[in-house]
């Protein structure tokens, strides 16, 4: 499925944002000001609820979301950060699908994408991001402002790329990866599943799964499971 700015065929369906932190506030603002979509509410895990209102909208328990905002008329979008190597993001995405929800995409009007882009659902692509031709992006992926994805790239599900990440041609980022601000992948590199590439690190060769890679050139420092974002 290709999703381009301003062409969301589900624009009549309101969006529920999962999350109540900084990324959720940002997603609310961007959807409200830079898309045809309207946010109806925020959802969080019941155990994490601290308020029942945010930005003038209700905050509801995710566990009972369908009671007030049924899947027949609402879409979801996961708007939390890459904690625990994106595991909570992936879990809520999977649970939302099981509850029957579709997932909205937000693609900034100032992002530069090409018509052949193959993109999943539940993605957020922010301003000044460039995605070159012959590229595929999975579901539940966040590309923050200024990310550059060169030609013939592949980004797997449940990945989070911080601002100004640069990915050279022919790279693969497998699922559940996090790339810190200004991280770089040399052409043809594969970032294996559940890897973290630290801020400013440069990956010049492919990695092994589940590692934290730091430095220039990037070297494995520890397991990514040891890191708390």
Binding annotation for substrate: 81
CA distance 144 to 122: 14
Q: Which helix (H) or strand (E) holds 28?
A: helix 22-34
Q: List the catalytic residue out of 74, 151, 158, 176.
A: 151
Cite the beta strand spans of 19-167 per DSSP E.
39-44, 53-54, 57-61, 74-78, 102-103, 106-107, 118-119, 124-125, 130-131, 136-137, 142-143, 148-149, 154-155, 160-161, 166-167
Is 124 in contact with 145 (CB distance < 8 Å)?
Answer: no
Cβ atoms 204, 222 nearer than 8 A? no
**151 catalytic, yes or no?**
yes
Q: Which residues carry a binding-site annotation for acetyl-CoA? A: 181
DSSP lists the bridge partners of residue 91 as: none
Question: Which conformational region is residue 200 in: left (phi greater than 0), alpha (psi within -120 to 50 degrees), or beta?
Answer: left
Residues annotated within a binding site: 81, 181
Active site residues: 151
């Amino acid at each position: 499925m290709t999703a381009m700015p301003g062409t969301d065929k589900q624009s009549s369906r309101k969006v529920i944002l999962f999350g109540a932190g900084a990324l959720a506030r940002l997603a609310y603002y961007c959807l409200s000001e830079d898309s045809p979509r309207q946010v109806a509410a925020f959802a969080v895990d019941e155990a994490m609820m601290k308020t029942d209102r945010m930005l003038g909208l209700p905050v509801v328990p995710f566990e009972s979301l369908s009671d007030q905002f049924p899947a027949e008329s609402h879409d979801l979008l996961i708007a939390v950060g890459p904690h625990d190597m994106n595991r909570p993001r992936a879990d809520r995405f999977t649970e939302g699908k099981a509850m029957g929800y579709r997932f909205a995409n937000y693609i900034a009007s100032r992002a530069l994408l090409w018509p052949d882009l193959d993109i999943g659902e539940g993605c957020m692509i922010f301003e000044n991001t460039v995605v070159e031709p012959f590229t595929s992006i999975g579901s539940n992926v966040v590309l923050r402002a200024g990310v550059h994805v060169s030609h013939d790239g592949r980004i797997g599900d449940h990945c989070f790329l911080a601002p100004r990440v640069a990915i050279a041609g022919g790279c693969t980022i497998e699922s559940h990866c996090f790339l810190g601000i200004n991280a770089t992948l040399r052409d043809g590199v594969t970032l294996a599943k559940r890897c973290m590439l630290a801020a400013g690190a440069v990956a010049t060769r492919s990695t092994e799964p589940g590692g934290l890679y730091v430095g220039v050139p990037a070297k494995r420092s520890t397991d990514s499971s040891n890191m708390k974002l």
